[in-house]
Amino acid sequence: MQLANVFAGRWDERKKWGFHILDSWQLFFDTGRSIGQITSDFKTEDVVKNDLVDEANSFDAAKVKADADGFALSDDYKKVDVDAIKAAL
């Protein structure tokens, strides 16, 4: 769930799953360079692309929701207090 919060972050700017905010990636790469984790030089726009975002988001969202709503959780998963986990994040 913690990772899902990151994936869904800044949704107001992204609007679609998989959309990359180039300024965020630039900061990530700049930070990696400043601490020595990235030693090569490249342009962010050469490695971070949004070319396939529209195609990747062309799924039937209503069908996905219906499938998820119809999925039967195991008893172990039913015991998980999702609200408590959300509150701790």
Give the number of domains in the chain. Answer: 1
Residue 36 is encoded by which pair of tokens? Answer: 């020595």
Quote the Cα angle for 39-45-47, to 5°: 55
Residue 11: band (very low, low, confident or very high) from pLDDT cuts 50, 70, 90: confident
Q: Whole domain around residue 80: which residue ranges?
A: 2-88
- Burial code (b: 16+ CB inside 10 Å, e: under 16) for 31-59 equals eeeeeeeeeeeeebeeeeeeeebeeeeee
What residues have CB less than 8 Å from 86, skipping those under 6 apart? 1
Alpha carbon distance 16, 56 (integer Å): 9
pLDDT digits (tens, 9 = 90+) for 35-85: 999 999 999 999 999 999 999 999 999 999 999 999 999 999 999 999 999
